[in-house]
């Protein structure tokens, strides 16, 4: 079979969504299918429909061997506005269009633009013949935004075992006494609420702060330069220069070492469709702290194998950090065991993507 996959840019971008897309493409190609990756140029959301009409997007990626006439077209939902000319053409040809939904664009748009995003997304969802989603939470959002519950869909959870090949390295990270500090992983953008972590640190007593520092922020610093400048100013203004380290992107080997020697992974996002990084950290024994909206609540159980906090609430996050910082060694070992067991209850990448492939193969 020939599949088309519509994304922004290329598959090498660093985010959980692009990782998911790469894993799906690898699984399809491993079983003999051809995948034409149609990489669209990104643009401000409100301009995407206009610009898409001006660009020659009605052909596949030239590197994939010329025009792409797929048996099944897969459109990453975040591309819905720019991809609409392609989708209409595939609809006319009778080519099944699958909405690949990591999260809705409207869930990352604020203010007056949110209503317009919801309208556009509803139009896109109606044109889809099926959906591949990363969580039950995302599936519910699809239905709330205008999806038809009679449309075929499949929930293929992301895997949490990407860093497993580095997990045998001897760095002492599994010893509770040697675990110190917390880690944030993700692109440094407003939706991830890194500033809330900084404000929570400012509320901690010196003794507690010493246990949860350093706070290592691992992720792209170029996605939202204005926000990063605000973040640096906030750190300096609160006198936390020695407590917060903006590390930028780090490779997977170093990321594994960082996760294994930290008390907790703290990513209190405004919204996550799933949150692959929580699973990855849990497999390494780090206690996850997530925003209570979105897929984080589907991965971890508050107070049992992780913590859920209201997004934007620095007081609630500070309270959670105090609780983590005061864990005794035996309590920390028990937490590590619980979070690992919880993470291992989810499928691996290979298992999940095999199920997704089988679903897509039925749509021809």
User: CATH topology of 2-159+348-361 equal to that of 164-344?
Assistant: yes
2-159+348-361, what's its fold? Rossmann fold (3.40.50)
State the pLDDT at residue 62. Answer: 40
pLDDT at position 253 is 87
Domain boundaries, the chain: 2-159+348-361, 164-344
Q: What is the pLDDT of residue 48?
A: 56
pLDDT band at 227 (very low <50, low <70, confident <90, very high): very high
pLDDT of 170 higher than 90: no
CATH architecture, domain defined by 164-344: 3-Layer(aba) Sandwich (3.40)
Mean pLDDT of the chain: 86
Could you give the C-alpha distances from 190 to 193, 230, 261, in angstroms and in order?
A: 6, 10, 26
Over 70: is that where the pLDDT of 86 sits? yes
Q: Say what the pLDDT of residue 17 is.
A: 87
Q: Does residue 60 or residue 248 have the better pLDDT?
A: 248
Give 143-157 pLDDT, tens digit per residue.
998 888 889 999 999
Q: Would the pLDDT of 55 be above 70? A: no
CA dist 188 and 360 (Å) reads: 33
pTM of the model: 0.84
């Amino acid at each position: 079979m020939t599949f088309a996959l519509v994304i922004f840019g290329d598959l090498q971008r660093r985010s959980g969504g692009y990782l998911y897309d790469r894993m799906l493409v690898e699984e399809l190609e491993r079983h003999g299918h051809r995948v034409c990756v149609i990489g669209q140029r990104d643009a401000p959301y409100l301009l995407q429909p206009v610009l898409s009409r001006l660009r020659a997007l009605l052909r596949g990626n030239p590197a994939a061997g010329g025009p792409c006439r797929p048996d099944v077209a897969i459109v990453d939902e975040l591309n819905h506005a720019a991809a609409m000319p392609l989708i209409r053409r595939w609809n006319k040809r009778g080519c099944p269009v699958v909405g690949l939904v990591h999260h809705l664009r409207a869930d990352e748009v604020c203010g007056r633009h949110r209503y317009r995003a919801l309208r556009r997304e509803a139009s896109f969802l109606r044109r889809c013949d099926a959906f591949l989603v990363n969580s039950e939470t995302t599936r519910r959002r699809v239905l709330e935004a205008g999806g038809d519950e009679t449309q075929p869909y499949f929930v293929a959870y992301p895997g949490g075992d990407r860093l497993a090949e580095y997990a045998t390295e001897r760095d002492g990270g599994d010893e509770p006494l040697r675990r110190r500090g917390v880690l944030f992983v993700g692109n440094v953008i407003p939706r991830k609420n890194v500033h809330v972590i900084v404000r929570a640190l400012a509320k901690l007593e010196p003794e507690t702060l010493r246990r949860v520092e350093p706070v290592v922020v691992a992720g792209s610093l170029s996605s939202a330069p204005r926000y990063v400048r605000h973040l640096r100013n906030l750190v300096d203004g609160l006198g936390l220069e020695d407590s917060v380290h903006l590390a930028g992107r780090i490779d997977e080997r170093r990321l594994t070492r960082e996760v294994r020697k930290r008390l907790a992974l703290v990513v209190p996002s405004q919204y996550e469709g799933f949150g692959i990084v929580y699973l990855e950290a849990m497999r390494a024994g780090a206690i996850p702290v997530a925003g209570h909206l979105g897929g984080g609540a589907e991965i971890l159980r508050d107070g049992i194998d992780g913590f859920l906090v209201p997004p934007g609430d620095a007081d609630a996050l500070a309270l959670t950090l105090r609780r983590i910082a005061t864990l005794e060694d035996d309590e920390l070992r028990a937490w590590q065991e619980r979070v690992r067991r919880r993470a291992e209850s989810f499928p691996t990448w290979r298992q999940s993507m095999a199920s997704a492939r089988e679903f897509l193969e039925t749509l021809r």
